[in-house]
Amino acid sequence: ILKLTEYVTVSDLANMMNIPVNEVIATCMSIDMMVSINMRLDAETIKLVAEEFGFETEFVSSDVVAAIQESTEEDSEEDLLDRAPIVTVMGHVDHGKTSLLDNIRKTNVIAGEAGGITQHIGSYSVKLPSGRHITFLDTPGHEAFTAMRARGAKATDIAIIIIASDDKVMPQTVEAINHATAAGVPMVFAFNKIDVAGADPNKIREQLASMNYLVEDWGGKYQCQEISAKKGIGVNELLEKVLLEADILELKANPKRRASGLIIESSLDKGRGYVSNILVQNGTLRVGDVILAGKYYGRVKAMTNERNQALKEAGPSIPATILGFNGPPSAGDTFNVLETEHEARDIANKRTQLEREQGLRTQKMLTLDDIGRRI
């Protein structure tokens, strides 16, 4: 059996089967395919040619090459430690997302630790009075879910769905609920703006019940909390409920692994090069590590936290800003630490090549389609 990725060229295939490359080319010609040595073959052709020489084939997605290498070592039970939950706030525009995140940032970070948050890096970690941590993913909620889900990555452990109780459940509220439900992410409801005259959180409870989301204080399974993001009422209670939810999930990670996680955003800084905000999901990322995300790779040259303090390492659920990629990986890409720069470059180049070929193929198809239409 040949184990293949989608990046096999004619000469790769010949090597794997230990057959002269000319014979492979000849076989391709016999099925009306003109190929050259360095041409990449599609899965169908590889299968046909391999069968011709008596081999069975099995395809392994090369996008998971890094993940495969990583997962060969099983975590031992004692290496799995609790990690902070990663939380996203989602809700209709003007219902108070920004106010809530601002309030949490101010009361729990600036008060608790020196410096306060000085940089917006799309994610930050807060320490609650109980001593426990929560990591907030501070990107527009929907983008975080859709972009990352499209790549098969799960960005969030828990979603806070914020609803203004002087308003009602709105289309974007429903959308947020649907996103979280589809992603299998538990929700905690925050009924905001209870300080406003005429606010009626029971009306929100009722609307949610009519959508089959029955909250806990009405006998259902969803936790909820009345809050005023503006005045800071109920916010700590809300966060404690988030932690209860986290306890149920038993979130663990292995800090001893090579790091993997998410790209939150990337940009080009004139002086410093490519800057990426990342969130470590598993393992520990260290300065000097070889990193790969999408088509880009490099070595972590420097790492800072949201208070612009230099970090030597970042463990599970820790957000950081890093320098060192040779380009800007996209938001929602996953990153991996690899053993060698050579290996990282190899995978990055193959991804670039694949993207280019896919681009070419799409163009070609369009042209054929065009011709068809003209005929």
> Which stretches of the chain bind ligand GDP, using CB under 6 A?
91, 93-99, 192-193, 195-196, 228-230
Q: Please, what is the minimum distance in Å from the beta carbon of residue 229 to ligand GDP?
A: 4
- Are 163 and 92 spatial neighbours (Cβ–Cβ below 8 Å)? yes
Q: Which does 47 bind (CB under 5 to 8 A by kind): Mg ion, ligand GDP, none?
A: none
Rounded least distance, CB 341 to ligand GDP, Å = 42
Please identify which residue in 22, 36, 61, 98 interacts with Mg ion, judged by CB under 5 A.
98
| φ/ψ of residue 69, rounded to 5 | -60, -40
Which segment (5-13, 89-97, 204-212, 289-297) binds Mg ion by CB under 5 A? 89-97
Gap between the terminal Cα atoms of the chain:
44
286 binds, among ligand GDP, Mg ion, none (CB under 5 to 8 A by kind): none
Cα–Cα distance for residue pair 69/49, rounded to 1 Å: 28
Length of the chain in terms of residues written: 375
Burial class (CB in 10 A: 0-12, 13-18, 19+), 353: middle
Residue 99, number of CB atoms within 10 A of its CB: 20
Q: Using CB atoms, what's the residue nearest to Mg ion?
A: 98
195's contact among Mg ion, ligand GDP, none, with CB below 5 to 8 A by partner kind, is ligand GDP
User: DSSP class of residue 199?
Assistant: -
- Integer CA distances (angstroms), 107 to 113, 231, 235, 319, in order: 10, 11, 10, 19
Using the minimum distance from each CB to ligand GDP, give the nearer residue, 134 or 229.
Answer: 229
- Element containing residue 137 per DSSP (H, E): strand 133-137
Residue written as token pair 């499209």: 150
Closer residue to Mg ion, CB minimum distance, 138 or 245: 138
Say if strands 260-269 and 273-282 run parallel, antiparallel, or are unpaired: antiparallel
Q: How far is the CB of 173 from ligand GDP (least distance, A)?
A: 11
Residue (193 or 241) nearer to ligand GDP, CB: 193
Closest contact distance (angstroms) between CB of 98 and ligand GDP is 3
Q: Three-state DSSP class for 251?
A: coil
Residue 224 contacts residue 217 (beta carbons within 8 Å): yes
Give least dist CB 215 to ligand GDP, A: 19
Instruction: Identify which range of 91-99, 319-327, 340-348, 355-363 contacts Mg ion by CB under 5 A.
Output: 91-99
**Is residue 130 a contact point for Mg ion (CB under 5 A)?**
no
Q: Which residues bind Mg ion (CB under 5 A)?
A: 97-98
